[in-house]
Structure 1
Amino acid sequence: MTRQKKIYLEESEMPKQWYNLAPDLPNPMNPPLGPDGKPLTPEMLAPVFPMNLIEQEVSQERWIDIPEGIREILVQWRPSPLIRAYELEEALGTPAKIYYKNEGVSPAGSHKPNTAVAQAWYNKQFGIKKLTTETGAGQWGSALSYACAQLGGIECKVFMVRVSFDQKPFRKMMMQTWGGTCIASPSTETQAGRNILEKYPDTPGSLGIAISEAIEAAVTDPKGETRYSLGSVLNHVMLHQTIIGLEAKKQLAKAGIKKPDIVIGCCGGGSNFAGISFPFMYDKIHGEDIQVIGVEPYSCPTLTKAPFVYDHGDVAKMTPLLPMYSLGHSFIPAPIHAGGLRYHGMAPLVSAALRDGLMEAQAVHQSECFEAGLLFAKTEGIIPAPETTHAIASAIREAKKAKEEGKEKVILFNFSGHGLMDLVGYDKYMSGLLNDYEYPESEIQNNLKDLKGYPQPK
């Protein structure tokens, strides 16, 4: 064997700090706002999150230490391998070098435990006994259930978007195996859920609805022992995921590569994209020529069609107003199989990066994504999650472009999770039962009517 496919780091080389993009943005972020339209204070978030995570949420420190107690759990699968996609390159006949960071090696099968472990650890340090959360495809709910089991002494309740609850029963079983409780959302357990079911009894659900239920369940605990945990969108979640890109930098250096030409991640709420891209945005801000691409479904075109507005993160408007690209909090997505990419808004930090020109956005239909996923499985051997196929489809596009241009580009993408729990989607695609869906502009405008009178971000 003459070629090196996998690039590893020693456990001792795992990053000891996370990278915070906020202080390096070309323009300051707009603050989250309360119901009165005034900036939130940390104390206003205290019923929802522990103060140690709130401090990270509002931090302007560039580097934040990773506590040893968190690193001791992350080392179960980290550092994750960086893999050269030789077989995919050969199938495409491209001169591009394609590398992918394999986050599918985590116990839950995706990048999500990077922040789940951190959030569960900080909550336990703060004395919290129960965590509630939402999940789309089930990857986040699985990750948080795993994290709570690892730390011990924390109960985990997950509200799972109903269409995914029905499509992905094994995700529910994974949560239960780790001791979590999984409930289809909307449910009758919360007032928010009951209100939705009364109005839309056959709804497939949405992340916005599930978030409302999870927050309500947390803030109505009479003992005050429950907090809410979010798998994406918020600043501290983006922070925890940057371990991905920081490791990738070290691994590319071991391969003799100073920098990638293109960095790609799929985009739902923004966490895996931020994880791979933010450390490279730091380089871009400081003069490096790096193209950064966020990829989303045509059926949920948050970055490619939505305006930059202040909006709530959930349907019941229990969250603060966040500055983000949003399709409107009342958005109900089509039941595509990339359940983790069906969120109406985009992380404020990712939204700021797009606003400031640090990245660009692409939308891809699910048929192209599944086609890319099948090619990847047949060449590289790993079956990717439907969410991950969006990043693969974009990487294939860029590799073909490099072939047309005759340029030997270095393409890096985040393999955010494997698809072994998502084979129903592959079966439907191969059986010709999946249709492409483009979310209509008229529906976006209809949703945005709910934002009339809201403050406007700068």
Structure 2
Amino acid sequence: MNAWRSVLPHLGYDLPPDLSPPNTTGPVTTQLPLELVRQSVSKREWWPIPEPVAELYRQYRPTPLWRATRFEAEVGAKVPIYVKYEGGNLSGSHKLTTALAQAHYYKQAGVRELVTGTGAGQWGTALAAACAAFGLSCTVFMVDKSLRAKPYRGSLMRLLGAELHASPSRLTEVGVRGEQGNSLALAIGEAVEYARQAPDRAFCIGSGETYSILHQSVIGLEAAAQLDGPVDHVIGCVGAGSNFGGLALPFFARHQAGEAELPTLLAVESTATPKLSQGVYAYDATDATGTGPMEAMYTIGAGFTIPGSHSAGLRFHAAAKVLSAMRHHGQIEATAVGQREALEAGRRFALSELCLPAPESGHALAAAASVASGQSRRGVLVCVSGHGLLDLSAYDDLLAGSIENAPADAEALRAATAALRPVAFDLTGVR
């Protein structure tokens, strides 16, 4: 694989512009390396992968794809289920693919230290690994509840040289306030504030931005080449969207370019954070500081408090702006899965395929099992975005019978989104 493929030339519309935060005036500014800015706005379709990044990709890519015949039998599937597996690298997830690219571009821009927030820990682990590869320092703020449940995620980050802090911490003002203590938005907010304290630090995010979804396009490009025939459903889990976007959007681009039929692209989220299925399409902050650009997203509100019993990841409050726009235009579909159902699907996959998926991936597997048992005619492609070997506490809770579904409260959703500005998005002329 020598290039990433962008979906932007194939959407048929421009993404809504970012807006300045409520308490500031003037244009939206960015501290991103210029190449990442270009990748977020340009209608260029193919982007060459820099050789230092491609060299590291070759250590673990292409990732395997197989037909999960034993899982098919386990769930009563009527059509093939094909699995694209992203857990076979040091970080244990798909997120290393964009982490390596971003570390490369930030290093070129003269940054010394990258700072980030992470929920279940996959992104923090991936960025720690990428920083180690490119000789950068790394600081990670990880959701405290998640870090306590998954301590070996923290061990791996520290092994890779990262400085790790449980969020909320005492290092930032937003952390001291700690108003959404189980929230990825809070951990990201701490990272944003901390990064601004030194000129050679930069905040780095791994999932919702358009450039990170571009980097992940290698997942879908590889999968399309590996499949031995068409499928009519492409399924991935959604926290903010890089895993699902990386798998699914190349299939959309292929269709728009006249290269292939278009399968149903199904985004699967948690019932605890159901932005695409129950959220509003509005301008919202991406973190708890509210100092970054306001983006047009399907959101349940940056201030929404995630239930304390939530263990199965996918805890970001909003979906990536490109996925949100596509959802608004009917170009992708969405559904939500409870964490007990997700973990049970992961357990059944482990027993049948001898591969333990991350709890996040269990959401996609649960949806794939359902679709393959009834709606699909020709087959399902699903991404197992990472392994669950560092997430065994959630499976322990499942086996102990203590996993509770934690659906978002409808009244809390209304309260968290009531003051948001809806997106005025003209649907005319959309292809």
- The answer, yes or no, to whether TM exceeds 0.5 is yes
User: Which amino acid is 2:211 matched to?
Assistant: H
SS of 1:246's partner is: helix
Distance 2:11 2:377 in 1: 30
| 1:131 partner SS | strand
Counting only pairs closer than 5 Å after superposition, residues 1-12 of structure 1 correspond to structure 2 as none
SS at match of 2:212: helix
Structure 1 residue 378: deviation in Å?
Answer: 0.7
- 1:321 and 2:294 are equivalent in the alignment: yes
Asked if the contact 1:112/1:143 (under 8 Å) is kept, the reply is yes
Question: Of the candidates 358, 363, 369, which is equivalent to residue 396 of structure 1?
Answer: 369
**For 1:90-128, what per-residue CA distance to the aligned partner results, in whole angstroms no more than 9, with x for missing partners?**
223433111111101121110010000000011111111
**Equivalent position to 2:185, from 188, 208, 221:** 208
| SS at structure 1 position matched to 2:412 | helix
Unaligned runs of 5+ residues in structure 1 are 1-14
CA contact (8 A) 1:32 1:39 kept: no
- What does residue 108 of structure 1 align with? 91
Q: Is 2:281 aligned against 1:308? A: yes
CA RMSD of aligned residues (A): 1.7
1:448 to 417, 420, 430: 417
The secondary structure found in structure 2 opposite 1:52 is helix
Greater CA drift, 294-303 or 31-40 = 31-40
Q: Find the counterpart in structure 2 of residue 344 from structure 1.
A: 317
Q: What is the aligned partner in structure 1 of residue 46 from structure 2? A: 63
Report the identity percentage. 39
Q: Report Cα offsets for 1:33-71 as digits up to 9, x if no partner.
A: 113798955xx102xx22232222222211111111100
Q: Describe the superposition over 1:385-439 as per-residue Cα deviations: whole angstroms up to 9, x where unpaired.
A: 110000000010011115xxxx752210111011001111111111110111221
| Structure 2 unaligned spans of 5+ | 426-431
Q: Deviations over 1:285-318 (max 9, x none)?
A: 3562411100011111111000100111011202
What secondary structure does 2:297 align onto?
A: strand
1:218 to 178, 195, 207: 195
Aligned 8 A contact 1:284 1:358 in 2:
no
Match of 2:245 in 1: 274
- 1:74 pairs, out of 57, 64, 73, with 57
Cα-to-partner distance string for 1:61-90 (whole Å, 9 max, x where unaligned): 111111111000111111101111011122
The residue type paired with residue 96 of structure 1 is V
- Tell me the equivalent position of 1:240: 215
2:266 to 275, 293, 301: 293
Q: 1:232-285 CA deviation, whole Å, 9 max, x = no partner?
A: 111111111111000111111xx2x1x321100001110100010000111343
Q: Look up the match of 1:182.
A: 164
- Aligned residue number for residue 5 of structure 1: none
1:169 aligned residue: 151
Equivalent-residue separation in structure 2 for 1:310 and 1:165 (angstroms): 30
Distance, in Å, in 2 between the alignment partners of 1:366 and 1:279 is 28
C-alpha contact 2:21 2:291 (8 A) present in aligned 1: no
SS in 2 for 1:110: coil
Say whether residues 1:23 and 2:9 are aligned partners. Answer: yes
Partner residue, 1:45: 30
1:245-260 to 2 correspondences below 5 Å: 245-252=220-227, 255=228, 257=229, 259-260=230-231
Q: Does 426-435 or 22-31 show the bigger shift?
A: 22-31
Aligned mates of 2:403, 2:148 — CA distance in 1? 17
Q: Distance in 2 between matches of 1:264 and 1:456?
A: 26
Distance 2:398 2:414 in 1: 31
- CA distance in 2: counterparts of 1:434 and 1:188, whole angstroms: 30
384, 392, 396: which one pairs with 2:357?
384
Q: Which moved more, 1:172-181 or 1:280-289?
A: 280-289
Describe the shift of the 1:241–1:139 C-alpha distance in structure 2 as closer, same or farther (beyond 3 A): same
Judging changes above 3 Å, is the alpha-carbon distance between structure 1 residues 40 and 283 closer, same or farther for their aligned structure 2 residues? farther
- TM-score normalised by the chain length of structure 1: 0.89
Name the SS for the 1:104 alignment partner.
Answer: coil
**Alpha-carbon distance between aligned partners in 1 of 2:353 and 2:98, rounded to the nearest angstrom:** 27
CA distance in 1, matches of 2:419, 2:175: 19
Deviation at 1:26, TM superposition (A): 2.6
Task: Deviation per CA, 1:345-404: give whole Å up to 9, x if none.
Answer: 1100110111111111011111111111111011001111110000000010011115xx
Counterpart CA distance in 2 for 1:155 and 1:247 is: 31
Do the aligned residues in 2 keep the contact of 1:26 with 1:356 (CA within 8 Å)? no
TM-score (ref. length: structure 2): 0.94
| TM alignment of 1:125-144, pairs within 5 A | 125-144=108-127
Structure 1 Cα separation of the partners of residues 121 and 88 of structure 2:
16
Count residues with an aligned counterpart: 421
Q: Contact (CA 8 Å) 1:89, 1:98: kept in 2 or not?
A: yes
1:90 aligns with 2:77: no
Report if aligned partners of 1:142, 1:174 keep a CA contact under 8 Å in 2: yes
